[in-house]
Structure 1
Amino acid sequence: MKQIFAFMPTFLLSVIFCNAQKLTATDVNSPEVTVVVDIKVNPQFKSEVKSLVPELSALTIKEAGALSYNYYLSPDGNKILIIEQYKSLSAFQEHGKNLFSGPLGQKFRSSFTVNSIVVAGGNLPDSVGNFTVMKSIGGFNSKCE
């Protein structure tokens, strides 16, 4: 029940500010990719997580191929889910190079243990490094006009 009430303000704002919604079928051949990263927060870095995320976001927002980049923290502070969207697989791969070639990459590796990475999209090869690949088979997108 709490989840419904937490969702309501967001829903109401979207109704107020969105004059018309456009529903489009998911393009299963789109080059866009969604990446879902499930990570464990290393205990000694738990207090630093909320200050590290803005640094990581500031680096990623500068990347031309980044569409969205969001962190979600579990109530106990032990797990994070990152949901990222990129214009293409190569944009995601470029993000990885940018992140892990600099000092923030070392900070990320020290702070977190990656449990899994899923790369999802319509136009993906059968394998992408050590990541789990999921290919789009349909759905829809809703956008305000």
Structure 2
Amino acid sequence: MLREYLVNNSESKEITFIVELKTKVDSKKEVEKFTQYLADFIVEREPSTVYGYFISEDGKKVTLIERYNNSEDGIQHGKDFVNGPNFEKFFEQFEIESFITIGNASDDFKTFATDNGFQIEYRSSIGGYVRR
């Protein structure tokens, strides 16, 4: 039965980032090229289960969605990002307008984010499920 593969959101360890970005460059094509480069870079190195960029029609706003199996994977991504070759390039292209993490982020994740200067709004589950 399908229900056997359901996990209540409140019991899931998955975390999802929803990051709203403002572009700093005028070329929509340049933004698209850079985000594809980042996606290609991440897929080869990290355990994210979802990683995608979505751009507004005018090219001025981008939404980044990332989903990780657990907070430890989110921390590893953060370490790789902060210490990796794309950190400065990312902030040459984008300004973070908001950063929301949904799911049951661990205290270790929250401490890591704060210690590295990320201002995150956390939202916990009030209902729903994850299908396995």
- After TM superposition, the score normalised by the length of structure 1 is 0.72
What residue is the counterpart of 2:61 in the other structure? 79
Letter in 1 for 2:127: G
What residue is the counterpart of 2:122 in the other structure? 133
1:62-101 equivalences under 5 Å are: 62-101=44-83
Deviation at 1:140, TM superposition (A): 3.1
Q: Which moved more, 1:103-112 or 1:22-31?
A: 22-31
Partner Cα distance (2:55, 2:2) in 1: 31
Partner Cα distance (2:93, 2:105) in 1: 32
What residue is the counterpart of 1:36 in the other structure? 18
Mark the runs of 5 or more structure 2 residues left unpaired by the alignment: none
Deviation at 1:77, TM superposition (A): 0.3
Helix, strand or coil at the partner of 1:116: strand
Which residue, out of 93, 100, 105, partners 1:118? 100
Mark the runs of 5 or more structure 1 residues left unpaired by the alignment: 1-20
Q: 2:46–2:77: 8 Å Cα contact kept in structure 1? A: no
Deviation at 1:58, TM superposition (A): 1.6
User: How large is the RMSD of aligned CA atoms in angstroms?
Assistant: 2.4
Deviation at 1:55, TM superposition (A): 1.4
- After TM superposition, the score normalised by the length of structure 2 is 0.79
Q: Could you list the runs of 4 or more consecutive aligned residues of structure 1 that deviate by over 4 angstroms after TM superposition?
A: none
Percent pairwise identity: 26
Partner Cα distance (2:68, 2:55) in 1: 21
State whether structure 2 residue 37 is matched by structure 1 residue 55: yes
Q: Aligned residues, how many?
A: 123
Q: 2:7–2:131: 8 Å Cα contact kept in structure 1? A: no
| 1:44-85 deviation line (CA, Å, top 9, x unaligned) | 454411111121112221344311101110011000001110
1:5-20 equivalences under 5 Å are: none
Which residue, out of 69, 81, 102, partners 2:84? 102
Deviation at 1:90, TM superposition (A): 1.9
Helix, strand or coil at the partner of 1:43: coil
